[in-house]
Each structure stands twice: as structure tokens, then as C-alpha cells.
Amino acid sequence: MSALLSVENLTRRFGGLVAVNAVTLDLRLGEVHAVIGTNGAGKSTLINMLSGEIDASSGRIALAGEDITTRAQSHRARAGIGRSYQRTTIFAEFTARENCRLAAQAANPRPWAIWQRAQDCAASNAAAEEALGAAGLRVESDRVAGTLSHGAKRQLEVAMCLATRPRVLLLDEPLAGMGAEETERMLALLTQLKATHAILLVEHDMDAVFRIADRITVMVNGAVIATGDPAAIRGNPDVRQAYLGEEH
Amino acid sequence: MKNISATMRHWLPLACALALAALGPWMSPYLADFVVKVMILSIFALSLELLVGMTGLVSLGHAAFYGIGAYATVLGAGRDGGSIAWLLPLAMGSAAAYALVVGALSLRTRGVYFIMVTLAFAQMAFFVFHDTPFGGGSDGIYMYVRPTLGAIDMESRWVQFYGVLGALVGTYGLLALIRRSRLGAALAGIRVNEQRMRAAGFAVYGYKLAAFVIAGALAGLAGFLVASRDGVVNPELMAWHNSGEVLLMIILGGLGHLRGAVIGAVAFTLLKEVLSTHALVGPLADQWQLTLGLAIIAFVALLPKGLIGVAARLSPAANGAAPKLDAVPAPNAKVTP
Amino acid sequence: MSIQNTRTALTALALACIATLGHAQQPPKLKVGLMLPFSGTYNALGVAIENGFKLRVEEQGGKLGGREIEYVKVDDESDPAKATDNVNKLIKRDNVDVIVGTVHSGVAMAMAKAAKESGTVLIVPNAGADAVTGPMCAPNIFRSSFSNWQPAYAMGEVAGKQEKKKKAITITWKYAAGDESVNGFKEGFEKAGGQVVKQLNVPFPNVEFQALLTEIAAAKPDAVYAFFAGGGAVKFVKDYAAAGLDKTIPLYGPGFLTDGTLDAQGAAAQGMLTTLHYADGLNTPRDTSFRTAYAKAFKLQPDVYAVQGYDAAQMLAIGLDAVKGDIGKKAEFSAAIERAKIDSPRGTFSVGKSHNPVQDIYLRKVDGKENKVVGVAVKGLADPARGCRM
Amino acid sequence: MDVGTFLVQCLNAVQYGLLLFLVASGLTLIFGIMGVINLAHGSFYMLGAYMAFALSPLFGDQFLVMLVAGVVLAALFGYVLEWAFFSYLYQRDHLQQVLMTYGLILVFEALRSMLVGNDVHGVKAPPWLEGSFALGELMRYPWYRLFASAACIVLALGLYFVVNRTRLGMMIRAGASNRDMVRGLGIDIRRLYRIVFAAGVALAALAGMIAAPMSSVYPGMGGSVLIICFVVVVIGGVGSITGALVASLLVGFVDTFGKVFFAELSGMGIYVLMAAVLIWRPEGLMGRKT
């Protein structure tokens, strides 16, 4: 199967520091591709470059064959790259439904149609309901987002991402701070989503990563030291030394 | 109960406008004049509310667009006057055009930078009109004949009164529409979390620029009205303390509410009147700058949510309603550069 | 209650009735609106004008044209943006009969517009904006001071004819009064055979002059004409001297360059020539008696602003006397002032067709802390009143 | 323009720029470290000028002693003001900071009017700096201006040294680039804030004192300086001392030569410069990219 999102030699320098060094990887439909590494390994910078938040210093990003390296973040989002944030970035003062509807509105903007109520946009509402349903938030959809439990907020974060109907999901530590039960629910959601999405997962919870990932890329100091299926990574001596060895 | 108060909130502004229209003929010339002045300031404040309250952009240079609208009106009218039909679009268009330039540049920055850059660009507009002879220089320039449209002549006190009232209702209505529309929802999202909006696929810069230009055009409308009322304009209209005062109005009324801008314009004008009236505050009136300064500090320190915030605290019923897109606390303007 | 007391009470009541009756026969008080800067930079000027005006009214026994005067004061803050609202307070709220004001030209422009539209009599006791007695001139608008053009034109003539200068540079704050003044100088100077070779501007109220002084030094003109006031005047004159230019290139200006600023300017201003419609050391009986009375009443030395306020009251008195206090008779009121010779401390003057003073402009020389008169620069100078259709 | 005139104009530009730098450096540090936008900063410049007016008769020709005394007074004033007022602003959003410091300007102006009145006052240069020296055949250059330039250069170097070479400077730089980090380092942040604020006030006041004999003192003198300093900070980049220095000099040159070559539009020159910088580097010449 061909890659939906492919990354070649992506590099980012901050002054003299090379945060991401010539990373090459690809994301495929039906696959969860996990990126692991210690703090400061460049994982977040990588996600930020893929989503367009920061520019790449060099290298190339292609979405379904189209070069999007220099495209603006909003353009990439509309082209099908959705992302969630490590720190929850929901709109705390709106309801869960409103959060999703607003995210979905990006695909149906029509800002000049000021005579229409935002809430009356059928396409956005449908996308929002679908995303809420998929994320298991339907019963809580009328609650103000700021009052949701931590786990529900993380689910909402993903739901907002889904509401934009992306093809590629870039998830930055979706399991951070979750309890066991909430983790299970999120992993079930990801398993269900991977059928229709190409997923990049950055996560610190190693048990979860090795359970759910189809492929794993290991980064150290901004560079990729290994890529492969979970079993291969587990057995890779470099990885054991550089990363797992230190932790276990 | 909730429904009644919600309905009331909906129709109260219109009822106020109708009451004002009905009371017009009974007002003394001075009172009518005062009301016109406050209504023009309300339009000006509403236009800034779109930026600060609805989009979270703290502009300290909004008076530039007000002044440009006023100057465009007077310069367009020339010696022989002109028609409202093209002077009004000219005023709003000129203000919007400058807003487009200033917005395009200043929106490249954020937070404290944005505040300083908008202030500096307003000062630049001030200097253009202050230093060059085409706008009459520092003393300003006269409009010898006020704008007309058929039988409607801004020379008439009543046309001024009802014209300005109509413009206020129109501005309020337009902003109310924007608020509930997709544009308004997107602006609210940008105010709360710009990063998330961008990640969702919104062209945030374009939205902010649109808000900036609309706000500029509406400030230009207020400028058109003030020029038509006074018949004379001068660069002081763009002075930076005017930008500061209109910002004060919207926070005094209550940020995040359209009616806050109107309440703030009324309250601020009255506050200044009271503090400088000998009959009310005695010899302190001579030191109105001091008392006004202290009042501003105390007010912002103690009541950051404005008069509406006070009202809300006093009546718990108003708090019962579920927070919606349009019932919002102060914007998260604190952005680390 | 004793009979004694009752009688006293009745007497008091009767007296009170008579008093009221008497009062009712008196014409109502004439409301004079003083719209002047009572705060900010021009505060002192506003106070001087008010003092001068009140001094004249007191000299007349507190009455003008047989009517007692009631004052309504409004602080104009020297802010033209608020001028229309402020003047409307006087016109529409307080229904004043006469407005006196103000110092700032931009504010005066807005006042003239409002006065012209409402027909209220306006006497401008300082602001020199040419437009007030130019395009905005009206039968009910008068000025007791000057137009920006007047002293500047006179200085131009002096520089060209008397001082025989050929090449001059002008420098001013980039604002309306400065432009008008510089244009007046240019007109007078070029008529007298000189030539303005360069016009320099400084953004208002910037006071960083060094770059332009360097330009002046490099251009080596025969004379420099400068228009600044207040802080700018102090600084410019001092900088000019500090740059050593005062030794080689004489500095001229309208009187405002050295009026009220000599304390701060000190030695730098000594010997400078300026022109104005008033001066120290006139030593006419009229001026001396005015100065004595003013100093006695306010414990202050009068200045040109006090004279302008004083003359505003004189002009009002002349008009009111002619109509016996009935200010509603606009045509007669105006005609009386137009005919009058106003006996001012500055010397007698009349008003021209546009209601701007036709007056002698003095040439003055700075001597110590005084602007001593050295002669009359132009006698009976009238403003050209360009644009006035009256 | 001949070479001599050109050089003199350059001297004028540098001197004006350095004076701006003294005011703007305090402003940019307060922005950078405390995150407070302070509209009242121009008032500290005014405070300095009026101090020079009030103190110079007392100190006579002891001008340098007066400067030191003024700096101490201004720093004390800043220290107290931080404690009494500005420390309450840190938790507020920018909008509220703008309005509260705007209110403060009104208060300062009113107090100035009550205490000193609204007249314009000249301030005498000390006797040992009076007079001028010949510069070219016609032009003379005042000694005091040369002194002011030298003083500004010394101060600028001193400030540069303190910020880049001392422990306090290290904390200041760390604070300007990352506020949370300084908290993490266990530095007494409140004391640091108070010191930086007092230093900012002292610098602005010192600029006012040095400028007073050249500019005289007058009401509202703080306002115009404030806006020019905003432009300097925007051009230089918030929190960067080096940026403020470069931007001040740029503004000095643009303003000086703008007056000479484009008299009619000279007021706009620095804003055009700012617009150009915004197009090229919106974060300022020395600002960090966000």
C-alpha cells in the first residue's frame, strides 16, 4: 500500500541546534505509526512541522503525492491533516458540541454569510455529531467543555480533530494523564479509527504503544535510529541501548 | 424564567432604540445634541468591540479610522457639499482601506507588539493630517455644506438625530448578526485559542484581517457622522488618547457584550461630565484629570468585567443561562511574544 | 410674637417686595460664556484672558450696556476634538448671549462654525487662525487679537526694508499656525525684495532642532524667521544661540517667540527682534493705567493675552451700548463695533470688514526680561481676509 | 550637503538616538521581563526632566552629583511604585495593563500640574559645560551636547556590560527570554522584578535629566517620547537591549535625515521604517521568532 503522508529528509534547525535531523518516514492508511523517544528527541517538533505550525529548514512532505512542504497550516488542515495537542487545547467555555461544530466549520467556512446562524450549518453539525459519536462523547455533548473530566477532555481533543474529517491524524500524547479505564477507551477508539485514517502517534506510554502500533519509529537527538514493527524494535540493540535500556 | 430573560435580552436594545426615537422630539436641543454625541461614540465603541471583545485583538490605534472617516467626508464634500450616497461609502471605504494596510502589517505581530504597532500606525495617520496641508494641517478643515440625500439634509437637527440613531441600530444589528454567524463563531474561536483554529483549518490571518477591516469601516461610519454633525474636523480626532478612551468605554461597559459598548460609551461620557462639573464635585472639578485617572485605575482594578459584570453579579438569574459562544469572559489577550 | 417683631417682619417683607420689584425692572443678566483653556499647557493664557475681560467689566461697574454680567465657564482643554461639544454646552445648554474664546486655533475654528450656525456672538481673544476671519467670517464673529498673518507680514517687511536682508530661511513647527505665519513672512519679505530660500519644518510638538540648525549653518542665509511658541520657543532660541548662529545670522519671529518665555530663554534671547501688536515699554497713559489696574487687581503683570481679553470686553461693551443691552439686534450690534475706534492699551485700533483688528504692529527688541518697543513695524495693518465673503 | 555638514548631522543622529535608547531600554526590559505594557513610561522621562528643573538650583555646578541624586530618587520612586501599583498588573491581561497605566498617565500629569504648574521651564546647563566650540566656519557645537552624547555612550556601554556580563544581567536575560525558567531557577522573582522596574524608571529619569538642559521641561513631554520608544521597541524586538540600541540609532538617523531631506513628511519617517521592519521581520530586528 502506498503512503498517504510521506516525509523525506525533514530537518529543522533552531540557530545552531538541530532539533529534527533528516527524518524520513511514511504514514499509511490502516496503520498506527508510533514515534517514540526521550524528551527533547524532536517528536513534537516533527509533529509541528507535519501540521505546518513551524516551517521545515529542509526536506519534503507529501500528502497523497502532493508536495505540501511550504503550505500553510490551515491549508494542510483542510487538505486532510488533523492534529491533537499534547496540552489540551479545547475551547473551555463552549459546549463539547460547539467545540466540534466550530472545528467542522473550517471545512464549510462561508464567513461572508452573516445572515446565517453558525448553529444552522447542517454540514458542520453532521460532522460534529459524527465526531462526538465516534469519540464516545454523545451523552456529554451539551456540557461546557471546561467542566468535563480529564479523560473526556482528551477525547474531545481527538473528537475536534475528527470533526474536520481528516485523512491523516497526528496525535501528540493523547494518553497523557489518563487513568487505566480512560486509556482503554482511547486505545479502542484509535483501533477503530485506523481503518479509515493514517495515524501518527507520539506517546510515552510504552505498553500502549507496543499494543497498538503497527510500526514504530525511534528518535534520538532529532534523528531516527530505527523503524520497524513492534517486535523488531523490541529486539533492536541500538534501541535497547539508546532508549529502552535506559528506561527498563 | 430563563426564556423570558433571554427574550428580553434579545429585544431590549431595540426597545431602547424605539424609546429614544419616541423621546427625541421632547428633548431640549442640548440634550438631543448630547444624545447624538453619545450615539456616535457608541458606534465607535461598537466597532472596537468587534476587535477587542469578539476577536481578542487589543488595538490602541482605533481612533485613526474614526478620524480618516471624518476627514474623507469633509474632503469629499469640498466647498459645495456632496451626497450621502457617495460620501458615506467614501468615508467607510477610506477607513477600511487604511485598516486593510494597517491590519495586514500589524496582524503579523501579536500581543503587546500588536498594541504598540496599532498605536504607532494611528500616530502616523495623525501626522499625515497634522503635517500636510491637504487636510488643513493641525487646525483642521471646515465642511461648508453638510451632506444631503434628496430631502434628507444633515444640516437639520432631526435628520442628525434620527440618522445617527438609525446608524447605531444598523451597526448594532450588523454586529449582532456577525456574532451569531459562522464568521462570529470563527472570531470567537480565534479569541479563545488561535492555534487550535489554525490546526482545524481556519485561515486565521484572513479572519482577523476581515474583522480589522470591518471594524475600521464601522469606525469610519462614526467618523462620517461626527464630521456631518460638527461640520469641522481636525487631527485631534485621531489622537492616541481617543484610542485609549474608546478602549476604556468598552471595558467600562463590559467586554464581550455588544450592549457593553453602548453602556460604556454612555457611562464614560457621564463620568467625565460628572467629574468636571463644579456643582457636583466642587473644587475637585478643576482636577478632573486626576480624579478621572484614579477612577480609571480603580475601575479596571476592581471591576474588570465592567458594569455588565456588576449587574450579572447582582442578579443571579442572568448567570443561570448556559454559557454560549456569545457570552464570554474577557479575552485571553495575554500572549507571550 | 411681639408687635415690635411683627412690625420688623412686615418692613422686611415690604423691602423684599420692593427689592424684587426693582429687580424685575432690571434687564436680565447677560450671560457670557468663557470658553478658555483652564487646564493644560495654555492654562496661564486662559487665566490672563479671563482676568483682562473681567477687569474691563469691573471698570464699567460690573455692567455692559446696562446689563449685569453672568459668567459661565467651560474648560476647552485645548482639545479641538471636544470643541464642538464644549461650545454647544454654552450655546444649547446654558443659552449664553456671548461666547468669548479661545487660545487654540483648532478649537476656535470649531467654535466659529458653531457660532456661525447658531448666530451667537463670538469674540475670539487670541487664536490667530486665518480662517476664522477668512472663509468662516460672519457678522456675529469678532476677533480682539490678531491673525497669524499680521505680525508675520510685518516682520517680513522689517527684515526686507529696514534690515536689508536678502536671503532668509524659515523654520516652524509643522502645523497650521506655523504655516500661516511663515506664509505671512514670506509675503512681506518678498514684497520688500527679499527671498525665502528654504522652508524648514519640525513635526509638532517635537523639539529636536539640532539637525535643522546644522542645515541653517550650512546654507548661510542672511536671516532666519522662526515660528514657535511656549516650550518650543524656549528651546529653539536657546539651541540657536548654543549653536553660535545668533552671532552671525539674526533670528526673527513673531512676538510669541519671546513672549512669556524670556525667563527661560535668558541670555540666548537678548537683542532679538520680534513683531507683535503689543509690547513692553509703550508708556502711553492708556497702557500705564491698564497695567497699574491689572497689577493691582490680580497681583500679576499683564501680558498680551490680558490685553486681548480686556479688549474683547471693550468690543462687547461698544456693541451692547449701541443696542442698549439688547444683543438680539445683531445688525446694529455689529455695525457699532465696525464703526468704533477701540481705545486699547496696545493703542487705538478698529476692526476691518472681516472683523479682525486693523492695528499697528510693533517692532520689539528683547532687553533683559522685556520685549521693549523700538518702533512701529507697520501702521494700521489689516488682514487680507482671504476667502471672506461678507 | 558637504562632508562636514554630513558628519555633524551624523553626530546629531547618534546623540538623539542614544537618548532614546536610555528611555527605550527600560521600556523593553519591563516588557520582556515582567510582560507588562507600561504606557506611563514616558512619564518617568518627564519626571527626570522636572527633577533636573527642581534640583539644579540646589546643586549648582555639581551637575554630576545631581544626576546621581536624581537617579537614586527615581530608582526609589520606581521601587515603591512597583510595590504599590505595578506588582498588581502582572496577573492582569494586556488590555487591563494598557488602561490602568493610561489612568496613571492622567494622574502623573495632574500631579505635575498641581506641583509645578503648566509653564515651560528652561534648565541651565552646569557652568563648566556652558558655551560651545567651533565646528566648521559658521557652526558651533554646544559642549553640553557633546557631554550628553558621551554620557549616553558611557551609559549604553555600562548597561550592555551589566546585562551581558553580570549575574544580575544573566537573570535579566533569562527572564526576558523565558519567564518560567527564571522561576524554576529559584531566583526571587519578585525582587528581580522590583529591581528591574526601578532600574527602568531610573534610566528613563536619567534620560530626562540629561535631556532637560537641551529640551527644556514642559507639560506632556512624556507622551511623544513614549510613542517613539514604542516604535524603537517594535523595531528592536521586545526584551532585547542590543535590539533597542540598534533601533534607537536607526530611528535617530531616519528622524534626523528625514527632517533634512523630506521636511514635509518628516513626522512619518520612523513609522515607515517600522512598517518596513514589520514586513521583513515581524518579531523585530533582534527579537526571537515565536
Mean pLDDT is highest, among B309-318, C15-24, C370-379, for C370-379
DSSP one-letter code for C89:
I
Residues of chain D neighbouring B334 (CB-CB closer than 8 A): 35, 93-94
Q: Answer yes or no: do A58 and A90 share one domain.
A: no
How many angstroms separate the CA atoms of B19 and C193, rounded?
A: 68
Decide if B236 and C79 are in contact by the 8 Å CB cutoff.
yes
CB contact under 8 A, D215 and C208: yes
Bridge partners of C339? Answer: none
Report pLDDT for C100: 95
Give Cα separations from C144 to C301, C348, C375, C377, D268 (angstroms). Answer: 20, 12, 22, 19, 37
Closest chain B residue by Cα to residue A89: B196
Q: How many CB pairs under 8 A join B and C?
A: 82
Rounded average pLDDT over B257-277: 90
All residues at 6 or more sequence positions from C112 whose CB lies less than 8 Å from its CB, including other chains: C122, C124, C131, C132, C136, C138, C141
Contact A106 B185 (CB under 8 A): no
Categorize the per-residue pLDDT at D152 as very low, low, confident or very high, splitting at 50, 70 and 90. Answer: confident
Q: Is the pLDDT of residue B5 over 80?
A: no
Chain D: residue whose CA lies nearest to C171: D263
d(CA B305, CA B312): 10
Q: How confident is the model at residue B320 (pLDDT cuts 50, 70, 90)?
A: very low
Q: Is the pLDDT of residue B333 over 50?
A: no
Q: How many domains does one find in chain A?
A: 2
Question: Would you state the pLDDT for residue B316?
Answer: 55
* Of D195, D223, D225, D197, residue with least CA distance to D210: D225
Which residue segment(s) compose the domain that A1 sits in? 1-80+168-248
Stretch C41-57: mean pLDDT: 89
Give pLDDT, residue C340: 92
Assign residue A30 the CATH number of its domain. 3.40.50.300
Check if C175 contacts B (Cβ < 8 Å).
yes
Q: Which residues contact C52 (CB under 8 A, 6 or more apart)?
A: C125, C294, C302, C305, C306, C307, C308, C309, C310, C311, C312, C313
Q: Which residue of B has its CA nearest to C175?
A: B138
Weakest mean pLDDT among A39-43, A57-61, B9-13, C359-363: B9-13
CA gap B325, B179 in Å, rounded:
9
How does residue B327 score in pLDDT terms, banded at 50, 70 and 90? very low
Render pLDDT for D8-32 as a digit per residue (tens, 0 to 9). Answer: 888 888 888 998 998 998 888 888 8
Distance CA C132, CA B70 (A): 21
> Average of pLDDT values for C107-130?
91
Q: Based on the number of CB atoms within 10 Å of its own CB, is B317 exposed (0-12), middle (13-18) or buried (19 or more)? A: exposed
The whole-angstrom distance between B234's CA and the closest CA on chain C is 7
Q: Closest approach of chain A CAs to the CA of B137, in angstroms?
A: 39
User: Quick one: closest CA in D to C204, which residue?
Assistant: D267
Average confidence (pLDDT) over C53-63:
92
Amino acid identity of C22?
G
Q: Which of D12, D134, D255 sits opposite C214 (nearest CB)?
A: D12
Give B-chain residues touching C105 at CB under 8 angstroms. 138-139
Query: How many Å is the Cα radius of gyration of chain D?
Result: 19
> Can you give the pLDDT at residue B335?
32
Rounded CA gap, A123 and A137, in Å?
A: 19
Query: H or E stretch including C364?
Result: strand C357-367
**What is the predicted pLDDT for the residue at D2?**
75
- Give residue B323's pLDDT: 40
Least CA distance to B214: which residue of chain A?
A: A112
How far apart, in whole angstroms, are the C-alpha atoms of residue B313 and residue D61?
A: 61
The answer to whether residues A110 and A232 belong to one domain is no
The set of cell numbers assigned to D220 is 506632556
- Among D145, D221, D259, the residue with its CB nearest the CB of C212 is D259
Q: Is the peptide bond before D213 cis (omega within 30 degrees of 0)?
A: no
Residues in chain B closer than 8 A to A144 (CB atoms): 322-323
Cell of D36: 507588562
Q: Is C181 on the interface with B (CB under 8 A)?
A: no
- Residue C89's closest CA among C232, C101, A132, D185? C101
B142 touches chain C (CB under 8 A): yes
Domain ranges of chain B: 33-238
Tell me: pLDDT of D171 over 90.
no
C203 interfacial to chain B (CB closer than 8 Å)? yes
Which helix (DSSP H) or strand (DSSP E) does residue A216 occupy?
Answer: strand A215-220
Q: Assess whether A145 and A47 both reside in one domain.
A: no
**What are A136-186's pLDDT values in tens digits?**
888 888 999 989 988 888 889 989 999 999 999 999 988 888 888 888 988
Q: Is B201 exposed, middle or buried (0-12, 13-18, 19+ CB in 10 A)?
A: buried
Q: Given this model, what pLDDT does residue C13 score?
A: 53
Distance CA B206, CA A72 (A): 12
Q: Is the pLDDT of residue B324 over 50?
A: no
Judgement on whether residues A61 and A173 belong to the same structural domain of the protein: yes
pLDDT at B49: 96
Which pLDDT score is estimated for D67?
Answer: 92
Query: How do residues C137-159 score in pLDDT, each as one tens digit?
Result: 999 999 999 999 999 999 999 99
Of the residues A104, A138, A165, the one at which a domain ends = A165
pTM equals 0.86
D96-150 pLDDT, tens per residue? Answer: 999 999 999 999 988 988 888 777 777 878 888 877 787 766 677 888 888 888 8
Residue C9's pLDDT is 56
d(CA B71, CA B232): 9
Would you say C83 and C106 are in contact if contact means Cβ atoms under 8 Å apart? yes
Between chains, do D94 and B289 touch, taking CB under 8 Å as contact? no
Q: Is B6 exposed, middle or buried (0-12, 13-18, 19+ CB in 10 A)?
A: exposed
In terms of average pLDDT, the best of B205-219, C368-382, D75-89, D174-188 is: B205-219
Touching chains, D (3+ CB pairs < 8 A): B, C
Structural domains present in chain C: 30-146+281-351 (3.40.50.2300), 150-276 (3.40.50.2300)
More confident residue, C253 or C230: C253
Q: Which residues of C touch B232 (CB under 8 A)?
A: 83-84, 109-110, 113
Q: Which residue has the cell 527615581?
A: D74
Q: How many CA atoms lie within 13 A of C334 on its CB side?
A: 19
| Residue indicated by cell numbers 509533529 | A47
- Which residues of B sit within 8 Å Cβ distance of A? 174, 177-178, 180-186, 189, 192-193, 195-204, 207, 210, 322-325, 328-329
- Type of residue found at C231: G
Whether D175 and D47 have beta carbons less than 8 Å apart is answered as no
The pLDDT-based confidence of C43 (bands split at 50, 70, 90) is confident
Compute the nearest-CA separation of A82 from chain B (Å). Answer: 7
DSSP letter string, D135-204: ETTTEEEEHHHHHHHHHHHHHHHHHHHHHHHSHHHHHHHHHHH-HHHHHHTT--HHHHHHHHHHHHHHHH
Q: What is the mean pLDDT of residues A116-132?
A: 90
- pLDDT(B39) > 90: yes
- State whether B237 and C81 contact (CB < 8 Å): yes
Query: Can you give the pLDDT at residue B1?
Result: 45
Give residue-wise pLDDT tens across range C297-319: 999 889 899 999 999 999 999 99
CB C321 within 8 A of CB C65: yes
Closest Cα partner for C78 from C204, C215, C195? C204
A239 and A172 together in one domain: yes
Q: Closest Cα of chain C to B207: distance in Å?
A: 32
Among B26-40, C293-307, D163-177, D227-241, the minimum mean pLDDT is found in D163-177
Tell me the per-residue pLDDT of C173-221, one tens digit each, with 9 for 90 and over.
877 788 889 999 999 999 999 999 998 888 766 777 887 888 898 888 9
Taking the C-alpha atoms of residue B301 and residue B295, their distance in angstroms, rounded to an integer, is 10
Cα–Cα nearest to C339, from C360, C322, C359: C322
Quick: pLDDT tens for A188-227: 999 989 889 999 999 988 889 999 999 999 998 889 988 9
Task: Using CA coordinates, name the residue in chain D closest to C199.
Answer: D263
Top pLDDT among C131 and C51 is at C51
For chain D, domains (ranges, CATH) are: 3-280 (1.10.3470)
Nearest to B231 among C113, C175, C179 (CB): C113
Q: Quick check: B120 contacting D, CB < 8 Å?
A: yes
What percent of chain C is modeled with pLDDT above 70?
A: 92
Residue for grid cell 536610555? D22
Q: Confidence band (pLDDT; 50, 70, 90) for B322?
A: very low
Answer yes or no: is pLDDT of B328 > 80.
no
pLDDT > 90: what percent of chain B?
Answer: 51
Average pLDDT, chain B: 86
What integer pLDDT is reported at residue D178 of this predicted model? 67
Chain mean pLDDT for chain D = 85
- A212 and A156 inside one domain: no
With cut-offs at 50, 70 and 90, classify the pLDDT of residue A244. low
**HSE toward the beta carbon, residue C112, CA cutoff 13 A:** 36
> Cα–Cα distance between D95 and B56 in angstroms, integer?
10
Q: Detail the DSSP E strand segments found in chain D.
A: 132-135, 139-142
pLDDT of residue C194: 93
